[in-house]
Amino acid sequence: MNTSLKTLFAAAIALSFTACSTDTSKTTNADGSTTTTTEVTTPSADSVGATMDTKMDAAGDKMDAAGNKMENKMEEAGDKMDAAGNKMGAKMDAAGDKMQANAAEAKANMNAKMDAAGNKMDAMGDAAAKSARETKANIKAAAKQ
């Protein structure tokens, strides 16, 4: 709200100058002429003070309403930010879970490949040992002949 305290006081002073009331009456004289009588009534200080209090209370109420409205808007904005933060947190949690699942799968795949390579090496070692035994047996057999 753009109402300042200076504005309120200026309005109160202007109100006090313009708060006078007038009562005009016309009287027709016996000769046909008209007499106009204007009576100006200046309000009492109490009356002006009460009017100023009323105006200032109304301005204060408007300022309170504006403050409450702003507070509500800020609370709504905070709620939206909380919701956005929660949403982002959920996305980050999901991404972290996916990364862990991918890492577990990669580890399992690597273990399977390592096991397969180890099995292949064992098979090659067994074949080499068998070949060596056979070669030894063939040499012994050839030496006996």
Which of 9-13, 106-110, 125-129, 139-143 is least confident?
A: 9-13
Backbone φ and ψ for 36, nearest 5 degrees, come out as -105, 130
Q: Which of 85, 77, 59, 74 is nearest to 4 (CA)?
A: 59
Q: What's the token pair of residue 22?
A: 């007038």
DSSP per position, 97-145: HHHHHHHHHHHHHHHHHHHHHHHHHHHHHHHHHHHHHHHHHHHHHHHH-
pLDDT in tens, 72-107: 999 999 999 999 999 999 999 999 999 999 999 999
pLDDT at 1: 47
More confident site: 14 or 76 = 76
The mean pLDDT value of the chain amounts to 85
Give 145's pLDDT tier (boundaries 50, 70, 90): confident
- Is 16 in contact with 46 (CB distance < 8 Å)? no
Q: Which residues contact 48 (CB under 8 A, 6 or more apart)?
A: 15, 16, 19
Please, which residues bridge with residue 37 across strands? 25
- Look at phi and psi of residue 37 and say left if phi exceeds 0, alpha if psi is from -120 to 50, else beta: beta
Give the separation between CA 71 and CA 10, rounded to whole angstroms.
29
pLDDT in tens, 58-74: 888 999 999 999 999 99
Q: Using a CB cutoff of 8 Å and minimum separation of 24, what contacts does 71-78 make? A: none
pLDDT at 28: 84
Averaged pLDDT, 27-31: 84
pLDDT at 47: 74
Averaged pLDDT, 30-51: 78
